Amino acid sequence: MTIYMRNRSCPCLRCRTRGLMGGAILVTFGFLFLLNNYHILDFGKGLPVLLIVIGLLLAASRTGSMEGHVQPSWMRGVPPTSPSGDNPPHDPQVKL
């Protein structure tokens, strides 16, 4: 298992979703201001909608598929790490 690093030029779903956060926040703010202008919903009461949008995007970016993921070019030479403990730490006192 390799370390996941976001790559802007990667076509996988996880990398593409992480790039949508800024745009989604701006669109949500614009929608809330529009509703406030037309006196449909007070801006202060619409802020939970912003938190819901942020939460949905965070959930989508963390659970998205990594199929076809491309590591950044500076990361390709890094050896994979094993968080499951397959490779025990080297003890200099133990002779093999």
Per-residue pLDDT of the chain (96 residues; tens, 9 = 90+): 567 777 878 888 888 887 899 999 999 999 999 999 999 999 999 999 999 999 999 998 888 888 888 887 766 655 555 455 555 555 556 555
Tell me the whole-structure pTM to 2 decimals: 0.63
pLDDT value, residue 95: 56
Provide long-range contacts, Cβ within 8 A and 24+ apart, for 18-22. Answer: 18/61, 20/57, 21/54, 21/57, 21/58, 21/61
CA torsion sign for 8, 9, 15, 18 is positive
- Return the residue matching tokens 């590591």: 71
pLDDT value, residue 1: 58
pLDDT value, residue 76: 61
